[in-house]
């Protein structure tokens, strides 16, 4: 709802760990929610700036919150522009390109996509998520998260996995650090 206030703050890029149907649902919901979130933030920001002024609003936020606000406003403006473009051409807005430019949403799974519970139980739902722009990284075993100075996720640490000569999955001993937007 446009009038609702939420406590959940989502940023892109986002990674959902797990290849089940819940992971697929979560990934698609994050992407859809993010678009709504930045639109609502932009609208509320414009109302508050008109009433109190930009300096007053920004003075109430710490540096990390100001950075997130600026990001949301920029993304909200791009979402608005895409809605206007779509309306002018009589088509549905396409947010996939925008979401991907912002790092998108990735499902990280420890085995192949064909072995994932989502694929086995309902491959159509997984296919639809991929059509909606969700990324899928297979053969990753997340081990830790690096945080930035504000305590926000900066990178995901993973061990890559591979099949040995018998076809069994093996976890490498080398840990890879995926920057938030490179997974």
Q: What are the angstrom distances between the C-alpha of 56 and each of 39, 45, 65, 79, 144? A: 21, 12, 14, 26, 38
Distance between CA atoms of 141 and 160, rounded to whole angstroms?
6
Half-sphere exposure of 56 (CA within 13 A, CB side): 9
Q: How many angstroms from the chain centroid is the CA of residue 1?
A: 20
- Determine if the pTM surpasses 0.85: yes
> In this predicted model, what pLDDT tens digit does every residue of 102-155 receive, in sequence order?
999 999 999 999 999 999 999 999 999 999 999 999 999 999 999 988 888 888
> In this predicted model, what pLDDT tens digit does every residue of 26-46 receive, in sequence order?
999 999 999 999 999 999 999
Query: Residue 59 in 3-state DSSP?
Result: helix
Which element (helix H / strand E) includes 22?
A: helix 21-52
Q: How many angstroms from the chain centroid is the CA of residue 31?
A: 6
Angle at 4 between CA 47 and CA 147, to 5 degrees: 85
């Amino acid at each position: 709802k446009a009038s609702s206030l939420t406590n959940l703050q989502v940023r892109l890029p986002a990674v959902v760990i797990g290849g089940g149907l819940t992971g697929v649902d979560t990934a698609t919901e994050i992407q859809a929610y993010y678009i709504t979130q930045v639109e609502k933030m932009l609208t509320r920001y414009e109302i508050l700036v008109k009433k109190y002024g930009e300096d007053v609003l920004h003075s109430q936020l710490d540096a990390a919150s100001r950075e997130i606000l600026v990001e949301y406003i920029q993304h909200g403006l791009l979402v608005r522009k895409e809605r206007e473009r779509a309306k002018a051409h009589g088509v549905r807005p396409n947010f996939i390109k925008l979401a991907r430019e912002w790092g998108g949403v990735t499902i990280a799974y420890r085995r192949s996509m064909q072995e994932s519970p989502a694929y086995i139980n309902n491959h159509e739902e997984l296919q639809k998520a991929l059509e909606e722009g969700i990324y899928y990284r297979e053969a990753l075993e997340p081990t830790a998260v690096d945080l930035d100075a504000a305590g926000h996720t900066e990178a995901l640490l993973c061990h890559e996995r591979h099949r040995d000569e018998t076809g069994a999955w093996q976890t490498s001993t080398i840990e890879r650090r995926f920057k938030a937007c490179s997974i």
